[in-house]
Structure 1
Amino acid sequence: MLAVQSPNPQKCTPNLLPARLNHNGPVNDASRYWQPTKDENGNSHAYFRGRHLHGTTLPLPTNYTGAILHMTDKALPHTHSQTHTHVDDEEEEGDDVMVDVKVAEKVGEFEELVVWGHGGEVDRTQDVFVRGVEEWVGFAEAMHGDGEGVGCEKKG
């Protein structure tokens, strides 16, 4: 299981780039490498390592907030959880089980993300990231019925 703690999350906009970066950490003077702009039609453009990229903004549904999590080595004290089994449409209580609960810190939250592509706007019907987010939200809605999904928090 996972417990999410929110010390001071910052508002941010994740950017999914069509590139593999072999770096994980802060970048000094990020504006030297990343300066997205919008044209007169509101379309996003950026140059990364000399390549022209086109951005497609993907807003989350209005009742969701995305979260950027940092996994920690912390764990909550062991907790007990009842296992449940379903037998012929009746739920039966099972054994008392010890559950490890890892702690993740929420360092950022977002309302939208930008998917970047080469040669024009990203094809929303073909891009795996766009389809993944849209399908995941639909799956979370179907599973939970009330809009609460894993990785996103329902507002209100």
Structure 2
Amino acid sequence: MPARAIQKSKSHQGPLVPNLLPCRIHRDGSVDASGRYWKPVLKDGKKIAYFRGRKLYGREFKVPQGYKGVVLLKTNRVLPRENQDRYAGHEDTADIEENEEEQETGILEEKATFDNVMVWGHEVLVDKEDVYVRALEEWVGVAESIHSFAEEKSDAALGGEK
């Protein structure tokens, strides 16, 4: 997989709340999301919206502390070669093994950030068992596993000889 660098977009929208809807739309591109099509309301303490005639109930879930939600756009731009080693954390190119193939570092644009995600259920209020909610929580668990380091235990703690 090619390396990617994230750069803030010139058209950054700031903080927003993404909506996960229980539907599939076979369309790429922008849409006029005017009040005619999407107008969530708060009724009896519940978020309710109608989408294409279907009643949806929404529940907001917070991004865990220590994490940041980001909306990214893949671009065809490439990070200039002189910035790639610095971005990858290399002080100089001597840190890179000679036999390692040089890869281009593609650029992802940060379009917006978010601290909460609104998950909508069709005719029901979603709970922790919802597939989207579980996927978000499991992704955080995987991220913590691959980015954490196990502490080394001494031989004595493992029952070894002194």
TM-score, normalising length from structure 2?
Answer: 0.73
1:30 maps to 34
1:110 aligned partner: 114
Equivalent residue, structure 2, for 1:151: none
Which residue, 33, 50, 54 being the options, matches 1:51? 54
Q: Is the 8 A contact 1:9 1:106 kept in 2?
A: no
Per the TM alignment, residue 53 of structure 1 is displaced from its structure 2 partner at its CA by 0.3
Instruction: Give the counterpart letter for 1:145 in structure 2.
Output: S
> AA paired with 2:32?
N
Larger radius of gyration: 2
Deviation of the 1:24 alpha carbon: 2.2
Q: Is the 8 A contact 1:17 1:116 kept in 2?
A: yes
- Report the alpha carbon displacement of residue 145 of structure 1 after superposing the two structures with TM: 2.4
1:94 positional shift? 6.7
Structure 2: state its 5+ residue gaps. Answer: 89-96, 150-162
| Residue 8 (structure 2) aligns with | 6
Flag structure 1 segments of 5+ consecutive residues without an equivalent.
82-92, 147-156
Cα offset, 1:64, TM superposition = 1.4
1:18 aligns with 2:22: yes
| Aligned positions of 1:50-69 closer than 5 A | 50-69=53-72
Query: After the TM superposition, which parts of structure 1 deviate over 4 Å for at least 4 consecutive aligned residues?
Result: 78-81
Q: CA distance change for structure 1 residues 96 and 27 in 2, over 3 Å: closer, same or farther?
A: closer
- Distance, in Å, in 2 between the alignment partners of 1:109 and 1:98 is 31
1:9 Cα deviation after fit:
4.2
In the aligned structure 1, how far is the partner of 2:132 from the partner of 2:8? 26
Superposed displacement of residue 76, structure 1: 1.4
Higher strand share: 1
Structure 2 distance, partners of 1:97, 1:112, is: 39
Displacement of 1:17 in angstroms is 0.8
Q: CA RMSD in A?
A: 2.1
Q: Which amino acid aligns with 2:50?
A: Y
